[in-house]
Structure 1
Amino acid sequence: MSAPSQRAAFLALVLEQMGAPYRWGAKGLKPSASALRLFDCSGLVTWCLQEVGGPDWRATHNTDRLWDVCTPVAIEAELLPGDLVLYGRPGTKTADGRPVTREDPNHVMVYVGAGVVVGASGGGSTTLTLADAAAAGARVKTFPRIAYRGDVLGFRRLPFSS
């Protein structure tokens, strides 16, 4: 599959997951034949990438690894649909004052264009059951602007086939 068609297939698959419940650590798990798949933020990205013929990073990649291995995109104006927006803390200091030598991404969304991002959101490490997710409104959903959270860390491009 060419990079443009793989990118388009990835983005379409991400959008097909709209409404799927969030669950911390879920990487596309489908609890039953009639159930929706379950995702956390990095699980949505890695499952969709693998489904369109990309590397199978589900067992090895979270937001930190996506930040480290995907190609940086310098500025928001260079984003393409299917690129990643990562959120978190810049490398500064830990709570006890020790220096942090790297950025600390803790959330990832997929850019779809016109400033809109989509991803598994609203959960966190306390969202371990479907009841937790429902109570928190945690699911795959859209936000009308990249900075829906104030801690945009940067942008990355997935390794679509060339």
Structure 2
Amino acid sequence: MSQRNAFVVAVLSQMHAPYRWGGKGELDRVANKRAFDCSGLVTWALREVGGPDWRYSHNTDVLLAQCLAVPKEEELLPGDLVLYHRKGAPLDAEHVMVHVGGGVVVGASGGGSTTRTLADAAKANACVKVFGSLDYRARRMGLRRLPFRS
């Protein structure tokens, strides 16, 4: 299996894992679940498949800056990233999702800076989930490719 495909499998393996602001895949021992924020899911999955350990050095802005740009939506591959900007700040990335094919994206979503516990996540339905469109959220700002070996 290619590193790219293994990355997509790792992301999908965390479906419904709770969202936690700043979560990088740490295991909650009480619930026996990992918790993620959007960039935490991406960096955890990349590390899981033998990529660099960016969990504590890369947030959404750094992923935007350091990954290769995908110039056209038609060139997206499964495992590429879709980034979204803050309202009123088109150069400030605030959210990232993983394209899994066919315009479908998966990622940790529904939370925010106030989602710090599993109870917060449950109340907000904040978790790793799927959306059927790259534009499920307004303000798409860019498409990026992680540095996969294969």
What band does the TM-score fall into relative to the shorter chain? Answer: over 0.9
Per-residue CA deviation, residues 133-153 of structure 1 (Å, 9 max, x unaligned), is: 111100000000000011100
Corresponding position of 2:116: 128
Gaps of 5+ in 2: none
Corresponding position of 2:142: 154
Shift of 1:35: 1.0
| CA–CA separation in structure 2 for the residues paired with 1:151 and 1:135 | 25
Q: 1:25 aligns with which of 22, 25, 29?
A: 22
Q: Secondary structure at the match of 1:119?
A: strand
Q: 1:47 aligns with which of 44, 49, 59?
A: 44
Corresponding position of 1:99: none
> TM-score, length-normalised on structure 1?
0.88
Shift of 1:131: 0.8
Rate the CA distance shift 1:34–1:144 in 2: closer, same or farther, 3 A: same
Q: Secondary structure at the match of 2:2?
A: helix
Identity fraction in percent: 63
The answer to whether structure 1 residue 14 and structure 2 residue 11 are counterparts is yes
Read off the aligned partner of 1:71 and give its amino acid letter.
L
Shift of 1:75: 1.4
> TM-score, length-normalised on structure 2?
0.95
Q: 1:105 aligns with which of 93, 102, 113?
A: 93
Read off the aligned partner of 1:55 and give its amino acid letter.
P
Corresponding position of 1:82: 79
Identify the structure with the greater strand proportion.
2
| CA–CA separation in structure 1 for the residues paired with 2:31 and 2:111 | 23
Corresponding position of 2:64: 67
Gaps of 5+ in 1: 95-101
| CA–CA separation in structure 1 for the residues paired with 2:31 and 2:148 | 31
Shift of 1:34: 5.8
Shift of 1:10: 0.3
Q: Secondary structure at the match of 1:12?
A: helix
| CA–CA separation in structure 2 for the residues paired with 1:34 and 1:140 | 16
Bigger Cα displacement from structure 2, 63-72 vs 27-36: 27-36
Shift of 1:33: 7.7
| CA–CA separation in structure 1 for the residues paired with 2:83 and 2:31 | 32
The answer (yes or no) to whether the contact 1:109–1:118 under 8 Å persists in 2 is: yes
